[in-house]
Structure 1
Amino acid sequence: AWLLVEFGASTREAAIAQARAMADAAQRFPQQPSVRFVEDAALMNRLWTIRETGASATSLSRDPAAPDPVVGWEDAAVEPALLGAYLREFTALVERYGY
């Protein structure tokens, strides 16, 4: 799984400072995630294109004879203040349905 986070601010420098602070904080998580900091506009565009086209674990059927499932069911945009609650509820649903 991966999480794509984009920071915005009144200046580029302020957005970069926010992103670096988040990347630093992630290294203090119990299971330190891989963090990649991207400033290159062309690479950012490529990453957003992947996200927007719905590339995901659910985008293709395992059975070639069956139709592909609905793409992007696990894709969401969540207000930062609500992220913790969203992740807890999402995890419960995943467990409930055995995904």
Structure 2
Amino acid sequence: MTSTQQGLTPRQARRLRMGIAAAAMAAMAVLLVVQLGDGSSLRSLGLYGAAFVVSGSVIEMSRRGRTRLGMAVLVAGFVVLLGTDWWLRAF
């Protein structure tokens, strides 16, 4: 018996990663609206703006076929942004 692995086609993988980045962008939009309602600071707005740039970059990379690089950028970008937010709140 031979076993065949059912994986995603490159097109499906691209669309999945674009969907993940779009979902992250939508989540950031909701959090930004909540933050604006609470009278957020310029620091928070800057971090959310950076998150939008990261998400948009990932969507564009995925459209151009650079899906693995895009996911690495998405994960690294959000880790850096969360670390920056934590560090800025400490001071």
TM-score computed with the length of structure 2 as normaliser: 0.33
Whose relative contact order is higher, 1 or 2, with alpha carbons under 8 Å and at least 6 apart?
2
